[in-house]
Every structure is written in structure tokens, then in C-alpha cells.
């Protein structure tokens, strides 16, 4: 029990640190940041440019925008393109805390992304969650 509390404290501290990092490293022109976090209800959610965390996001960006996904969840996420013009995912396997994937949206159109979540990291122990795990959905309209 004692050990579990310590670990949870460490996770919260890490989460707080990464939240700071995200706000201080505001994306330059042509960039946008998506952050995946752990949460008790639904296990994870993501936010666009430091906006509200939700499981499903719908955003509009300009052609040429580079989306940078950062995984601060307590489990790996693999970024998957579900629809839209063919493009390259750079480092889609976000296998550890703070790892990131990027995509450059050069073509106009409607893109859809999701992730495949893996198992909790061993160091995260058994993080308690409530309800079904969310499936993350992101719709990006590129104009």
C-alpha cells in the first residue's frame, strides 16, 4: 500500500512537470501539439494545443502544419491514421513517458487519427481507473 502511494505521487509529479513543459514550449508557427494524459475515468484522453482534455477532438489547421503527439499516459500508445490523404507517421510507436510522434499535414482534406493503447508500464503498478478505457479519436480538417 505504502509503495503504491509513492508511485502514484511520482506519476503525478511527472504529469505536472510535463504539463509545464507543454505550456512553456508553445508550438511555433506551423506547429500544433497534442498531449495524451492518464486519467482515472476512461484511463486516457488528449488535448490539442493545451485545450481541454477529451477522448474525441475535432480541429482545423492550415496545410503544412506539423502535429506533434506526446504520450504522457502510463501506457504506450501507437498513433494510427484511420482516414485521410496518405501520409507518413514519424515514430508512431510512443512507447514510454514523454515519447512523441509527428505528422506533417501537407495535403488539404479530412484526416482521422486514433491510437492503440498498450499495457500499463510496469513502474506504474496497477493504476486504478473507472469505466471503460477511452478510445482516442482526432479529426483534423486541413484547409
Binding region for Cu ion (CB under 5 A)? 43-44, 73, 75
Report the nearest approach of Cu ion to the CB of residue 141 (Å): 26
- 73/103 with CB nearer Cu ion: 73
Report the nearest approach of Cu ion to the CB of residue 45 (Å): 9
Instruction: Take residue 138 and report the three cell numbers written for it.
Output: 482526432
- 75/138 with CB nearer Cu ion: 75
Report the nearest approach of Cu ion to the CB of residue 95 (Å): 13
Report the nearest approach of Cu ion to the CB of residue 113 (Å): 16
Cβ(99)–Cβ(70) below 8 Å: yes
Report the nearest approach of Cu ion to the CB of residue 57 (Å): 16
- 22/75 with CB nearer Cu ion: 75
Taking CB atoms, the residue at the shortest distance from Cu ion is 44
CA distance 87 to 111: 10
User: Please, which residues have CB within 8 angstroms of residue 34's CB and are 6 or more apart in sequence?
Assistant: 46, 47, 48, 49, 57, 67, 68, 69, 70, 138
- 112/121 with CB nearer Cu ion: 121
- 12/110 with CB nearer Cu ion: 12
102-112 per-residue burial string, b: 16 or more CB within 10 A, e: under 16: bbbbeeeeebe
Please state the length of the chain: 143
CA distance 105 to 130: 35
Amino acid at each position: 500500500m505504502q509503495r503504491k502511494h509513492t508511485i502514484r505521487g511520482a506519476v503525478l509529479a511527472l504529469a505536472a512537470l510535463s504539463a509545464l513543459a507543454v505550456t512553456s514550449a508553445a508550438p511555433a508557427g506551423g506547429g500544433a501539439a497534442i498531449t495524451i494524459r492518464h486519467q482515472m475515468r476512461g484511463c486516457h484522453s488528449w488535448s490539442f494545443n493545451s485545450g481541454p482534455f477529451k477522448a474525441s477532438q475535432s480541429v482545423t489547421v492550415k496545410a503544412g502544419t506539423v502535429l506533434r503527439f506526446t504520450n504522457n499516459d502510463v501506457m504506450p500508445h501507437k498513433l494510427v491514421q484511420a482516414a485521410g490523404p496518405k501520409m507518413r507517421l514519424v515514430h508512431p510507436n510512443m512507447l514510454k513517458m514523454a515519447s512523441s510522434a509527428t505528422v506533417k499535414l501537407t495535403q488539404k482534406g479530412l484526416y482521422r487519427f486514433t491510437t492503440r493503447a498498450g499495457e500499463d508500464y510496469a513502474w506504474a503498478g496497477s493504476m486504478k481507473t473507472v469505466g471503460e478505457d477511452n478510445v482516442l479519436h482526432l479529426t483534423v480538417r486541413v484547409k
